[in-house]
Homo-oligomer: A and B are copies of this chain.
Amino acid sequence: MLKAPDGRVVVTTDLLLEGRHFRRDWSSGYDIGRKAAAQNLSDVVAMGADPTGIVVGLGLPADAAAAWLDDLTDGFRDECDLVGASVAGGDIARCDLVVIGVTALGDLGGREPVTRSGARPGDVVAVAGRLGHAAAGLALLSAGRTGPAELVEAHRRPRPPYACGPRAAELGATAMLDVSDGLLQDLGHLATAGGVGLALVPEAFTIPYPLREAARLLGADPLEWMLSGGEDHALAATFPEGVRLPPPWTVIGRVVAGEGVRVPGRAPTAGGWDHFRK
């Protein structure tokens, strides 16, 4: 049982599959638990709500040791502790691969929920949190490298800017989501849901030093990681023109009439379709 003082509860769910979303040889049970909880707690704050708890459905192979399960549940709990949420229950079934279904609940604290559909032409587009770090970390691991450590660590364990979500709702965010699939793809969802276009300004992106270092090592484009890399769970939101956005929010573009996401020098990105989204 969880508290729902607002009288409304937001709820979000994600399914993580071994091999597809994580590898047990690249991430510890603890890190996988942290990450699985983080991506759902991040979805809750992206609606402007305060996470209250998670429940977990687990499919576990016979070869998963009890200690690994303990590590996983420690990871769930420690990530939840960051936002004052609890692990409220779960279910375990035997399965050939590790399956982790996490559902997170949140309380709106009297605020209206921020949806994906509220962006209006003239709004500014802003992001808070890291971009491209997890993707760079995965590219490094895939190339057999173990550093820069900050990026490999970012792949194993995201650090969503939790406090920025409810604060964005208070600042009047018109639409918001967390960047799980990649900035351009996720902003495409905002564009489609709002029936608007988004025009980004590449110069607004500051490329952090570890990303430049990893790009040099792998011969990659660091901006590409920031625009297309997922799993950092930054927040992306639109705000009315003229709003004063405190750090770490960075304005990266503007909402325009039209559709899709436009970045000068790149082909437009179309919005995606989510089976369960209205």
A residues bordering B, Cβ < 8 Å?
Answer: 1-17, 20-21, 47, 53, 55-59, 69, 73, 87-97, 99, 101, 103, 105, 108, 113, 275-277
Contact = CB atoms under 8 A, between A and B. Distances in A.
A54 to B, nearest CB: 9
A3 B13 contact: no
Contact of A89 (B8, B12, B16, B96): B12
Contacts of A69: 275
A10 B1 contact: yes
Contacts of A275: 69, 73, 90, 92
A53 B11 CA distance: 10
Given A12-B55, A13-B55, A15-B91, 11 more contacts: A1-B11, A3-B9, A4-B4, A9-B9, A15-B59, A17-B59, A56-B276, A57-B57, A73-B275, A90-B276, A95-B99
Given A57-B101, A93-B21, A99-B99, A8 B15 contact: no
**Copies of this protein, total:** 2
B11 A88 contact: yes
B1 A4 contact: no
B93 A11 contact: no
B17 A8 contact: no
Contact of A4 (B6, B59, B73): B6
Nearest to A87: B276
A89 B274 CA distance: 10
Nearest to A6: B4
A93 B12 CA distance: 15
Contacts of A8: 1-4
